[in-house]
Structure 1
Amino acid sequence: MITSRQQFRDKLEAVKKVLQEQLLFAQQVTNRLAAHLDVRQDVQELQQLRNNLALGRFEIVVVGEFSTGKSTFINALIGRKVLPSKAQPTTATINYIRHVNENPHGVEEAIVFFEDGRSERVPSQQLEQYVTEMSTLFSVVEEISHVDLYVESPYLEDGVVVVDTPGMQSLHKKHDEITRKQIAVSNASIFLFNINHAATRTEFMFISEIQKSLDRIFFVANRCDEVDISEQSLESVVASIEGKLQYNDYFEVKSGYAKVYPISAAKALYQRIGGELATEKERADAFLYGNFEEKLWTYLTQGEKAREMLVQPLLRMSLFYEKLLNGLGEKMQLLRGELNVEETRDSIKRLQQQIETRRMALTDEKERLHLELRALKDNFRSDFEADVQAVTVDLKRELHIQHIDDYEEFREQILSHIRTAYTGCVEQAQERFKERLATLVLKYTDRFDDELGGQLGVWQGEIGRQLELRSFKQRESAELERLKQEQKEVLQEIAAAQSRQDEFTETVSAYHHNELLEQRRQREEDLHQTRYKLTMHQFNETPQYAEELQKRDREGIFGWFKNKLVGPEEVTVKVRNEDRKSLQETLLALEHKYDAMMKELDIRKKAPGISSEEAQRHILIAEQKEIQLKENYKQLRNDITREMMQINEDQLKMLTREIENVITTAGHQVIRSYDSIITSLHGEQMVNYAFDMHIRQHDQEIVEMSARIQDHEALIHFNKQKQDELLELLSELHGELSGKTKELQVLQAQLA
């Protein structure tokens, strides 16, 4: 268990325990004071607060381009293989990975939610295959809204949710928007790089879109195990990425937010599912993941959201006790005779008269305020136009399209960046206008409580979000058509030149080939003649017959006896010479081999079949032509390169002008929308609401004070014994509440 996470878990359990104990005590107090203080609504709110604490969420968003190892990173995070780690993008939708205990069905599974409202359950054993094949089963981008993955993992306990996003190259604008919103509301976001080619154009553009959330974003460089440390150290690679984040042409991240954590998700996952890492480097790479994870949880559990999660319920309970103590103190003063009901009743009457007088005066003040509101709108217009113009200038300055293909690849990102910039400008202007309006209203009202401030916060102008930038495409001018035609003709000429070059090269090659064959033919003929002459000489020197000793039996009786005594007699006979026969066969074989070789060489000859001398002459001519052709080709290639560069430059100029026109047009559109943007804030309604709230607040005070007077009168009519008993009860509860309040204050101080 991560140390910081366990510490937070211990604190959370302590807060839950204290809150439960305090709620039981509050319920007892409520029951004992039911006839005198109505705090049932407060107790219900505290119970809901306790329930919300139990359902606390830690949302961690993971963003990364294809090849950053996002799926492997998430698998390592939750300690098991859930998402497939394939060699192709798998996340085409938003995946919310939750603990199995949060599943209403109580089992590991995926629930796919479709855009048309349908949902489909997928069993756990089919999860990996389903996620992998999802793109073949559905048009994921169009049909699927999101997927909830419920898995068993200690990491997902305590309300942890890992959000797997489609990343920066999503095919669906809605997914792109969801990703940005998730980052904005999440506890933390992980921005994954591939350490081998980090800080790409797409990544920088996306970072510029989410710059408001940089304080909650961790930059992580995955695949550190693939860095060749014999060529460069891991530290130098990380420093290079951090430098690119701080200094680039798109959005420069401040040094305090540009920290990059190197990790190896693959090694960490392998180790966490039971694998043994063989080398010290592999173990070190896996350790880096755990080190980053500890820092992540330190941030999560010690950040503002975590502190608010722990302290807010205790603070709310303290306020409840304060309300009870004030109510008890007031009743105790009454029972002790320290409060005069008649004086209080007279005070209420005077207050009612003051409110009525104020109500009539507010009518005139409201008219003056409406006049000032109109003046505010007129004065604010120039500030707004200046802000829009500044955004327009910044957007034009940020244009860095180096090649026409860059636009085709990043068209949607460019348009989204323009849209986001102007929308952000509108939203900031709306916030400033609301602040000025609030300040103006405060001049005319004595109170401007949290509810009024909240109302100002919820009125969000929709005009900025509905800003539509017209999509643009490259215009094909006559000049561009001419350049394209020239490009086509030059390319055709290059193809023809290449064809001629190939033809001459082939001819030269044929000459060389035939010459080599002729040389080999001569060598083979010389070798054949040598072998043939040598063999013929041996054949001629070898006699046709040879003498040979042979044994044979003698004839007759005496011959028979002699054969028995001394054996057969030896006689010399003439026989055919086998060596001469063998040499004759060798001569025939040499003739056959020579004829076959000559035929093969003739077959392998390439046309034209010419003499060696003629071939040599053609080769010299062809070589000269080849040299000239190569020079022509080189010149032609340089010409077409210049033409292509000119075409690209002209296209870039046209495209840049077109984008600048879009930026300018969008800026003018925003400026023209000023009246509707300001109208969408409902300033007049806000003024009326502020005054109505001011009056209603005073009216509510009168109602509450009148109710207390009635309660006080009821207490006064108690007999002496009941008053003493109630006073004793109130004093006892007052002491207990004071003690409980101190306990809460001590715990709040410990958690702060």
Structure 2
Amino acid sequence: MNNKIETDTFINDLDKIAGVRQEISAGLAQMSEILAQAELGSQNTSGALGLSADIENINLAVNNLNQGVFRLLVLGDMKRGKSTFINALIGENVLPNAVNPCTAILTVLRYGENKQVTVNFNDNRQPEQLEFKEFKQKYTIDPKEAKKLEEERKSAFAEVSYAVVEYPLQLLSKGLEIIDSPGLNDTESRNELSLGYINNCHAILFVMRASQPYTLAERRYLENYIKDRGLTVFFIINGWDQIQEGMLDPDDEEELQAAETQLRQVFQTNLAPYCQIKGEDIYSERVFEISAINALRKRIKDQSASLEGTGFPELLRSLNIFLTQDRAIAQLQPAIILARQTYNNIQAAIQRRLSLLTQDVSEMKQRIDSVEPEFQQLAMIRDQFQAEIRATRDIQAKAVAESLRAYILNLGNTFEKDFLAYQPNLELLDFLNKDKRESFNIALQEAFERYTADKIAAWTLTVEQDMNTAFVKLSTSAAKYGASYSQVIDQITDKLSGKEVKFNPKTTKEDNSPIWTKWAMGLLSLSSGNIAGVAMAQAGFDWKNILLNYIAAIGVNSITSTLTGVFLGPVGLAVLGMGIGFLQADQARQKLVQTAQKELMKYLPEAAEAYIPQVRTGVEECFNTYEQEVIEQINKDITQRRTELDNLLQQKTAHEINLTTESQRLEAVTTAIHQQLEQIDQIYQTLS
């Protein structure tokens, strides 16, 4: 199939999703306007319905939809052709194709009317705007200097957080954002920077190279930072065309087929565990053999050129299905839920209002006073749920603290076995050679950094799973409390109207549940969030990033700095003085690890106690933020219901209300909101 067809289909489908997003946003905005005008118009009638919380939530949803993008994070080891791949994907040579470690600044590529680069810093400096040429000159250094900085444990651009490249490309204009990350074998601090973006992206494009199948660095990264974290990963095996180039006889079809079959077996064996969804094998939808350089060359010469044989048509088809179907529906669902919920709220409020309008002031006041016990029940439900959140917080904070203490202390017991995979190659006379001794010490510290990073990553995965379980339980509790809350609301409505009010038979109990319940269950995204806003159940509450920020405080740099004396101090001296010249290399390695293990165990209790308070605070912050948002939503709901009744009583006392005119006004509001809901539902259905 012609690549132009695939590319056009991808762009058209992204454009369709962007259009649907904007139409739904416009529908919600119209809902908000109708409600706001209804509240303003009620000043001279029966009083405001107390819809401020509904209006606020709709406006937040509109803002989220207007800012919505699909964010792809490109990961991979150095010299895998990540930048070439990105350039081929977007169809233009935007990013530099050869990036060394010190110029590998994390770069966000997004649409902009003008071509420009904005560099963001870690300190309080204002962002710096540069032309492309100036950016490349300023943030590129000679490879020799880069090597020297690496040996000195320094970073050329430590003050830079990330760069944003804006470019007027059609693909980017359809709501696609691409993040180019540093190489995996760069410093651990830069790896941590990439990790900070993983949870904030909709999908990861993991670039590998056919000529270096599944390296130790790639295995390590995938096993420690990707596996079992619920992430969507597309594997890009770049340079597939180079298999033939590396053969003794490039024209030998049989030899080529055998080489490709062998490589496919290697990749499938190692990548298959990352290509499972609920037990279903989707390897063919997630792993792609491509030639980025050939695709880029063709697209630069002719944007409509066929890319058959480069692997890009197959990749674009899968990306298209994932982004414009699976992710698009998940992204829009919260807005649909909110629209339906808003209509139900308005319908119920207006029915209560119309029932009360038939009463005189005395009877109305009596009925309003009669529901005070129900309002107390609502507050009791709120307090019970709040108590459960706090109890869960305390249990989890204690469990995580104990987990960290036990985990760190146990590192000493397993160090001799675990560190074998990380220790640098120890030559027989390295420690007798002054020049090599310094290099070995540097290699040893780097090995320990990798070991520490992987160990912390393994522990954080366990913590994330435990935290997720805790929030899933709170989600279940929210549904239970929400059901009780809805029953009390129905009792209030029945008391106020003097009869059992019947709602639309198509309305389910779930539809009638309050908005705060859906937020607490992770079904609504009511905050603008950070760079992406990934959260519980993929929407709503962003606890992972809160926890990540605190865990980062006990990451590679901090623990390494605490334990660095183990390797650069006592261990180095011990190895130097142990008669290495008379030992075989294997004996020297064993002695090195045993000595390091002994010294390590002296430092581990100190490390555990130093970082437990930070992690405990991080866990508590996750639940405190959740509690604050949930309780605020419940309080808004209770206040809104009280305000609704107070406004009516105040207006009824102040002047006579024409029942017929007011009924027509309120029914017109219901009709207008329902029409908007139907339009939004119809737009949403076009995705299925």
2:528 maps to which residue? none
Instruction: Tell me how far apart the structure 2 counterparts of residues 8 and 416 of structure 1 sit (CA, whole Å).
Output: 38
Of residues 373-382 and 417-426 in structure 1, the stretch that sits farther from structure 2 once superposed is: 373-382
Instruction: Tell me how far apart the structure 1 counterparts of residues 389 and 37 of structure 2 sit (CA, whole Å).
Output: 50
Matched, 1:20 2:36: no
> Which of 21, 32, 37 in structure 2 is aligned with 1:31?
37
Equivalent position amino acid for 1:17 in 2: E
Matched, 1:269 2:296: yes
Rg larger in 1 or in 2?
A: 1
Cα 1:212–1:374 change in 2 (3 A) is closer
Q: Is the 8 A contact 1:49 1:313 kept in 2?
A: yes
1:298 maps to which residue? 321
Instruction: Tell me how far apart the structure 2 counterparts of residues 671 and 50 of structure 1 sit (CA, whole Å).
Output: 41
> Which of 480, 486, 496 in structure 1 is aligned with 2:582?
486
Q: What is the CA deviation profile of residues 243-283 of structure 1, one whole-angstrom value per residue up to 9, with x for unaligned ones?
A: 134589xxxx99947653111000000000016999xxx96
Equivalent position amino acid for 1:185 in 2: N
Instruction: Tell me how far apart the structure 1 counterparts of residues 117 and 282 of structure 2 sit (CA, whole Å).
Output: 35
> Which of 12, 15, 18 in structure 2 is aligned with 1:9?
15
Q: What is the CA deviation profile of residues 446-465 of structure 1, one whole-angstrom value per residue up to 9, with x for unaligned ones?
A: 75954778999769678655
CA deviation after TM superposition for structure 1 residue 380, in Å: 5.7
Cα 1:209–1:145 change in 2 (3 A) is same
Cα 1:698–1:85 change in 2 (3 A) is closer
Cα 1:134–1:80 change in 2 (3 A) is farther
> Which of 579, 585, 590 in structure 2 is aligned with 1:644?
585
1:530 maps to which residue? none
Matched, 1:157 2:176: no
Q: What is the CA deviation profile of residues 93-139 of structure 1, one whole-angstrom value per residue up to 9, with x for unaligned ones?
A: 111122222xxxxx212222344414433324555555544987996
CA deviation after TM superposition for structure 1 residue 299, in Å: 1.2
Equivalent position amino acid for 2:321 in 1: T
1:163 aligned counterpart, secondary structure: strand
Q: Is the 8 A contact 1:370 1:687 kept in 2?
A: yes
Q: Is the 8 A contact 1:63 1:164 kept in 2?
A: yes
CA deviation after TM superposition for structure 1 residue 416, in Å: 1.0
Q: Is the 8 A contact 2:188 2:453 kept in 1?
A: no
1:220-239 mapped onto 2 (5 Å cutoff): 220-228=236-244, 230-231=255-256, 232-239=258-265
1:219 aligned counterpart, secondary structure: strand
Of residues 56-65 and 43-52 in structure 1, the stretch that sits farther from structure 2 once superposed is: 43-52
Q: What is the CA deviation profile of residues 361-391 of structure 1, one whole-angstrom value per residue up to 9, with x for unaligned ones?
A: 999x99x999989996899699858984998
Q: Is the 8 A contact 1:2 1:294 kept in 2?
A: no
> Which of 549, 563, 567 in structure 2 is aligned with 1:471?
563
Matched, 1:76 2:102: no
2:349 maps to which residue? 327
Cα 1:662–1:284 change in 2 (3 A) is farther
1:416-455 mapped onto 2 (5 Å cutoff): 416-426=453-463, 428-429=465-466, 449-450=516-517
TM-score by length of 2: 0.67
CA deviation after TM superposition for structure 1 residue 402, in Å: 7.1
2:232 maps to which residue? 216
Q: What is the CA deviation profile of residues 633-660 of structure 1, one whole-angstrom value per residue up to 9, with x for unaligned ones?
A: xxxxxxxxxx23332343344456666x
> Which of 129, 134, 137 in structure 2 is aligned with 1:121?
129
> Which of 153, 158, 164 in structure 2 is aligned with 1:148?
164
Equivalent position amino acid for 1:266 in 2: I
For structure 1, the 5+ residue unaligned runs are: 102-106, 488-642
CA deviation after TM superposition for structure 1 residue 224, in Å: 0.6
Equivalent position amino acid for 2:577 in 1: E
Equivalent position amino acid for 2:23 in 1: K
CA deviation after TM superposition for structure 1 residue 679, in Å: 9.1
TM-score by length of 1: 0.62
2:447 aligned counterpart, secondary structure: helix
2:212 aligned counterpart, secondary structure: coil
Cα 1:115–1:295 change in 2 (3 A) is same
Instruction: Tell me how far apart the structure 1 counterparts of residues 603 and 28 of structure 2 sit (CA, whole Å).
Output: 59
Instruction: Tell me how far apart the structure 2 counterparts of residues 221 and 349 of structure 1 sit (CA, whole Å).
Output: 70
2:456 aligned counterpart, secondary structure: helix
Instruction: Tell me how far apart the structure 1 counterparts of residues 378 and 53 of structure 2 sit (CA, whole Å).
Output: 32
The number of residue pairs the alignment matches comes to 574
Q: Is the 8 A contact 2:109 2:179 kept in 1?
A: yes
1:302 aligned counterpart, secondary structure: helix
Instruction: Tell me how far apart the structure 2 counterparts of residues 430 and 343 of structure 1 sit (CA, whole Å).
Output: 51
Instruction: Tell me how far apart the structure 2 counterparts of residues 736 and 697 of structure 1 sit (CA, whole Å).
Output: 23
Q: Is the 8 A contact 2:476 2:521 kept in 1?
A: no
Equivalent position amino acid for 2:372 in 1: Q
Q: What is the CA deviation profile of residues 423-465 of structure 1, one whole-angstrom value per residue up to 9, with x for unaligned ones?
A: 4445555566677789999999975954778999769678655
Equivalent position amino acid for 1:709 in 2: L
Instruction: Tell me how far apart the structure 2 counterparts of residues 239 and 702 of structure 1 sit (CA, whole Å).
Output: 66
CA deviation after TM superposition for structure 1 residue 666, in Å: 8.1
1:362-441 mapped onto 2 (5 Å cutoff): 384=403, 388=407, 399-401=419-421, 404-405=424-425, 410-426=447-463, 428-429=465-466
Instruction: Tell me how far apart the structure 2 counterparts of residues 56 and 206 of structure 1 sit (CA, whole Å).
Output: 29
Q: What is the CA deviation profile of residues 594-636 of structure 1, one whole-angstrom value per residue up to 9, with x for unaligned ones?
A: xxxxxxxxxxxxxxxxxxxxxxxxxxxxxxxxxxxxxxxxxxx
Equivalent position amino acid for 1:312 in 2: P
1:632 maps to which residue? none
Instruction: Tell me how far apart the structure 2 counterparts of residues 156 and 284 of structure 1 sit (CA, whole Å).
Output: 23
Cα 1:443–1:9 change in 2 (3 A) is closer
Q: Is the 8 A contact 2:240 2:290 kept in 1?
A: yes
Q: What is the CA deviation profile of residues 215-254 of structure 1, one whole-angstrom value per residue up to 9, with x for unaligned ones?
A: 3111111011101263434343123122134589xxxx99
Equivalent position amino acid for 1:12 in 2: A
1:98 aligned counterpart, secondary structure: strand
Q: Is the 8 A contact 2:423 2:444 kept in 1?
A: yes
Instruction: Tell me how far apart the structure 1 counterparts of residues 617 and 178 of structure 2 sit (CA, whole Å).
Output: 37
CA deviation after TM superposition for structure 1 residue 300, in Å: 1.6
Instruction: Tell me how far apart the structure 2 counterparts of residues 98 and 423 of structure 1 sit (CA, whole Å).
Output: 31
Cα 1:457–1:482 change in 2 (3 A) is closer
> Which of 325, 338, 352 in structure 2 is aligned with 1:316?
338
> Which of 659, 665, 669 in structure 2 is aligned with 1:723?
659
Instruction: Tell me how far apart the structure 2 counterparts of residues 50 and 398 of structure 1 sit (CA, whole Å).
Output: 51
Identity %: 17
Matched, 1:195 2:210: yes
2:248 maps to which residue? none
Q: Is the 8 A contact 2:207 2:236 kept in 1?
A: yes
CA deviation after TM superposition for structure 1 residue 296, in Å: 1.8
Q: What is the CA deviation profile of residues 507-536 of structure 1, one whole-angstrom value per residue up to 9, with x for unaligned ones?
A: xxxxxxxxxxxxxxxxxxxxxxxxxxxxxx
1:579 maps to which residue? none
Instruction: Tell me how far apart the structure 2 counterparts of residues 224 and 311 of structure 1 sit (CA, whole Å).
Output: 39
1:531 maps to which residue? none
Equivalent position amino acid for 1:646 in 2: Q
2:199 aligned counterpart, secondary structure: helix
Q: What is the CA deviation profile of residues 303-341 of structure 1, one whole-angstrom value per residue up to 9, with x for unaligned ones?
A: 23x223334334433333333333333344445x3x676
2:219 maps to which residue? 204
1:707 maps to which residue? 647
Instruction: Tell me how far apart the structure 2 counterparts of residues 151 and 691 of structure 1 sit (CA, whole Å).
Output: 43
